[in-house]
Amino acid sequence: MLEHPGQPDRRYLYAGEPLTIRVAVEATEPVADAVLGLEVRDATGEVLFAADSDMMGTPLPPLQGSTEITIAIGTVPLLDGAFPMSIQLKDRHGGRLLDFREGEDVFEVVNPSKAAGSVLFPVAFDLSQPSNRSVV
């Protein structure tokens, strides 16, 4: 499930807004060493971001039964586009793939500014008046 500040009025988020991804996990048998991975791609299939819970310093506790894992993206630094995600759950030690969702979830970003490109940089322009001091 995807959540952003503009819901329920709009299905897309604005460039720079936060995005929350909620992943429901149903472990039919206990999983002691699970790792959750997230991958975000652009429209051409190029990987823009890939990380997992271990890389981010958040190892998962043992999974058993129903669990919800939340992935919080503070600000989405992308401009206009639709971005498919892949989510995978694997066993840390055996490398066994437990579950995989490729491209089933897509988030859309709309850029309300006139900036062009694919990445939102936090840029500010400042106009300063030159000083009238003489340099000696």
Tokens of 4: 């952003």
Domain annotation covers residue 127: no
Distance CA 77, CA 31 (A): 34
Q: Is residue 129 part of a domain?
A: no
Beta-carbon-side half-sphere exposure of residue 135 (alpha carbons within 13 Å): 2
Number of domains in the chain: 1
pLDDT of the chain, 136 residues: tens digit per residue:
899 999 999 999 999 999 999 999 999 888 899 999 999 999 999 999 999 999 999 999 999 999 999 999 999 999 999 999 999 999 988 778 999 999 889 999 999 888 898 998 888 889 887 776 666 6
For residue 57, the tally of other CB atoms under 10 A from its CB is: 6
Q: What is the pTM for the complete model shown?
A: 0.83
**CATH number, domain with residue 71:** 2.70.50.60
Q: Contact at 8 Å (CB) between 70 and 22?
A: yes
Instruction: Supply the pLDDT for residue 81.
Output: 95
User: What is the rounded distance in angstroms from the CA atom of residue 49 to the CA atom of residue 98?
Assistant: 21
Provide the domain limits for residue 26.
Answer: 2-110
Whether residue 24 is contained in a domain is answered as yes
Amino acid at 53: S
DSSP-based helix, strand, coil % in the chain, nearest 5: 0, 50, 50
